[in-house]
A and B are shown apart, each in its own frame.
Chain A
Amino acid sequence: MRRRSGLLFVAPALILFGVFVLYPMVTAFSYAFYHWQGTTRGGFAGFEHFTTLFTRAPFKTDMPRALLHNVLFFLGTMAFQNTIGLTVALMLHRRARTRRMLQTLYAMPYLVSPIVIGYLWTLLLSPTFGPVNQLLTKIGLESWALPWLGDPDTALWVVILVSVWQWIGFPVLLYGAALGGVPEELNEAARVDGASHRQAFFRITLPLLVPAIGTVSVLTFIFAMEAFALPYAFGGSTGNPAGATDFISLLFYRTAFDSGAANAIGTSSAMATLLFIIIFGGALAATAVLRRHERRITG
């Protein structure tokens, strides 16, 4: 293909991507370094907005709390995905007849909007009519019939567990695909040499799954740091009850669009920039580590 006609083919995608993705992404950073008076840009502010995030109320207390929730969300999701997800994938492996069917069933909740999932579980867990507490009472676990979402001690864990429930189909699928790529001969050779099933799994299969685990981890990290719709459905934009389900994206949304503060754009952009650095830095670091591991097992 000639270079000129090739560029004509690329042009529409490039213009669209440039105007609505690249340009906003790049300007998002510059916003954080200027003073703002409503929507009018003032003078250069340096790192002032970043220090505001850590020194002034309400950010001084809200930022670390929201960040902690994001991190707990990530760790909780990871813990379940890599134990339940991997176990389920292993059990599905070599079940040719039912695997596709079960994988499909597990992936169903993933399709549903996080907003729908949030409201659905709010209703299911409702203390007044919720079927969950009703069921717990029926089977004699009255003491477990708690106001799950009304109690600051349990609300965050509900959000995490519901999110795991929604997403588990994804690691099951990816780990399933990765297991399909582990050469059976390697495991057989190890077994012939006298390795137990357990040894063969931990010494051969698991190390070969590290790239897949890495991909799942990186995607989970990005997903957990950006969490917005699901906590919004559970606790509104303020992270009810009492900020127990507050996340960085919610705090960002409140600051940018709900606070009415004169310098809202500056402060919230600083927050977005910080979050971007965390997401991109974390993802790049993890990728670099995994690349090194990949070279070691393939090289």
Chain B
Amino acid sequence: MSALPGLRAGALTAGRRSRARSSQKPVGGVTASLLLWGYAAVALVPLLLMVASSFRSNADLISDPLGAPWPLSVASYKEAWTVGNFATYFANSLLVTCGAVALSTVVATMAAYALARGRSRIFRWLEALFLSGLMLPIHLAILPIFYLFDGMGLIDSRLGLVLMYGASGVPFSIFVLTTFFRQLPVELEEAAQLDGASTWQTFVRIMVPLVRPAVATVAVFRFVPIWNDFLFPLVLLRREEKYTLPVGLTTFFGENATNYSAVFAGLVITTVPLILLFLLATKQIVAGLTAGMTK
């Protein structure tokens, strides 16, 4: 079952195939080249302006918003990091995101293995159940989640967010990983079992190392929406010392709306981990974005 038109996970490798026939002329010639690089500027300049402005003082920003960030001033970062509590928000975001990504990746890898190899009909049924979650707008269930958390003592708890995000990442992770497990030959497992390895040993020693690329895609790709999510921490967290970056940012913006350079620093602090992740793992993010597309 696939939840969207044309969903097939084969596109994880789609980029490579088309390169062979690149001998043909590109559409639009030089004009198109100019347009394409021009659009790259449109995409990037606002982000560069954000970084440049964060290194300038407030007075500089007001007198000349487009001036050069020279000499570099890190005063706004010091202010945001200590006075603005961004050190706390940053630690919370890191804890919640890493915890949730680890949780959903581990449980989804185990489940995907069984779903890919299990022959009983119940596994087909369970797979369909998990994949139905790909299209569930989970944010609409915020009220029941709120009362569920209230009953479990998970309001204002970072652990609660880890469980919540861990659960919401299960469908996508299972979708990508199951497809990947299916592509692996069964001979390896049969050989391991003949040598007396248990199912668990086969899974941990043989299978997990083989699916590492898919695990990386899933982990990297899930990191982004969890790091950026706003509604759940807004509703489920109470005290500032538990806030993640997006919610902390709204508090900071509300109290310092005219302290432009410190706000810019806060925006950069919230964004830097994602930029780093993107530079280190471009391939996984692109694969995640196109996962499930037709070739």
Interface residues of A (CB under 8 A from B): 1-3, 5-7, 9-10, 12-14, 16-17, 19-25, 27-28, 31, 39, 88, 90-96, 98, 100, 102-109, 111-116, 119-121, 123-124, 128-131, 134-135, 165, 168-170, 173-174, 177-181, 184, 211-212, 214-215, 218-219, 222, 225-226, 228-229, 232-233, 249, 253, 256-257, 265, 268-269, 272, 275-276, 279-280, 283, 286-287, 290-291, 294
A213 CB → nearest B CB, Å:
9
Question: Which one of B5, B18, B37, B140 lies within 8 Å of A276 (CB-CB)?
Answer: B140
Contact B293 A91 (CB under 8 A): no
Given contacts A215-B293, A222-B137, A290-B5, contact A88 B103 (CB under 8 A): no
Collect the chain A residues with CB atoms within 8 Å of residue B184's CB: none
30 intermolecular pairs with C-beta atoms under 8 Å apart: A14-B111, A14-B126, A19-B167, A24-B145, A31-B144, A91-B32, A93-B18, A93-B27, A94-B22, A104-B282, A108-B44, A109-B43, A111-B271, A113-B246, A113-B270, A119-B263, A120-B267, A123-B260, A129-B62, A129-B65, A135-B66, A169-B43, A180-B14, A212-B293, A214-B5, A214-B6, A222-B137, A226-B139, A232-B230, A249-B139
Collect the chain A residues with CB atoms within 8 Å of residue B114's CB: 1, 5-7, 9-10
Contact bitstring B112-138, A, C-beta under 8 A = 1, else 0: 011101111011001001100101111
One of B71-79, B210-218, B284-292 contacting the partner: B284-292
Collect the chain B residues with CB atoms within 8 Å of residue A286's CB: 5
Collect the chain A residues with CB atoms within 8 Å of residue B219's CB: none
Contact A177 B4 (CB under 8 A): no
Collect the chain A residues with CB atoms within 8 Å of residue B237's CB: none
* Given A21-B168, A23-B148, A256-B142, 16 other A-B residues pairs in contact with their CB atoms under 8 A: A5-B114, A16-B166, A21-B141, A21-B170, A27-B141, A27-B144, A28-B141, A111-B278, A119-B263, A128-B62, A170-B289, A177-B15, A177-B293, A181-B295, A291-B5, A294-B6
Collect the chain B residues with CB atoms within 8 Å of residue A181's CB: 14, 294-295
A154 to B168, CA, bound (A): 36
Which residues 205-262 of B sit at the A interface, judged by CB distance below 8 A?
Answer: 224, 227-228, 230-231, 235, 245-246, 249-250, 253, 260
Collect the chain A residues with CB atoms within 8 Å of residue B170's CB: 13, 16-17, 21
Contact bitstring B1-35, A, C-beta under 8 A = 1, else 0: 00011110001001101110110111110001101
Question: Which one of A6, A21, A135, A214 lies within 8 Å of B120 (CB-CB)?
Answer: A6
Q: Chain B: which residue is nearest A293 at the CB level?
A: B5
Contact B11 A177 (CB under 8 A): yes
B15, B27, B168 interface centre (most CB from chain A within 10 Å): B27
Q: Chain B: which residue is nearest A166 at the CB level?
A: B43
Collect the chain A residues with CB atoms within 8 Å of residue B61's CB: 129
A169 CB → nearest B CB, Å:
7
Contact A17 B141 (CB under 8 A): no
Contact B145 A90 (CB under 8 A): no
Q: Which 5 A-B pairs have the closest CB atoms?
A: A20-B167, A180-B18, A181-B295, A9-B114, A113-B228
Q: Chain B: which residue is nearest A25 at the CB level?
A: B141
Contact A287 B143 (CB under 8 A): no
Collect the chain B residues with CB atoms within 8 Å of residue A6's CB: 114, 117-118, 120, 123
Contact B24 A116 (CB under 8 A): no
Contact B27 A94 (CB under 8 A): yes
A112 to B224, CA, bound (A): 8
Given contacts A94-B26, A294-B5, contact A104 B286 (CB under 8 A): yes
Q: Chain A: which residue is nearest B42 at the CB level?
A: A165
A91 to B30, CA, bound (A): 10
Collect the chain B residues with CB atoms within 8 Å of residue A279's CB: 137, 140
Contact A226 B137 (CB under 8 A): yes
A28 to B260, CA, bound (A): 41
Contact B46 A91 (CB under 8 A): no
B18, B141, B267 interface centre (most CB from chain A within 10 Å): B141
Collect the chain A residues with CB atoms within 8 Å of residue B295's CB: 177, 180-181
A60 to B120, CA, bound (A): 52
Collect the chain A residues with CB atoms within 8 Å of residue B94's CB: none
A174 to B135, CA, bound (A): 18
Contact B27 A115 (CB under 8 A): no
A123 to B145, CA, bound (A): 34
Question: Which one of B143, B148, B246 lies within 8 Å of A269 (CB-CB)?
Answer: B143
A93 to B276, CA, bound (A): 27
Contact B136 A21 (CB under 8 A): yes
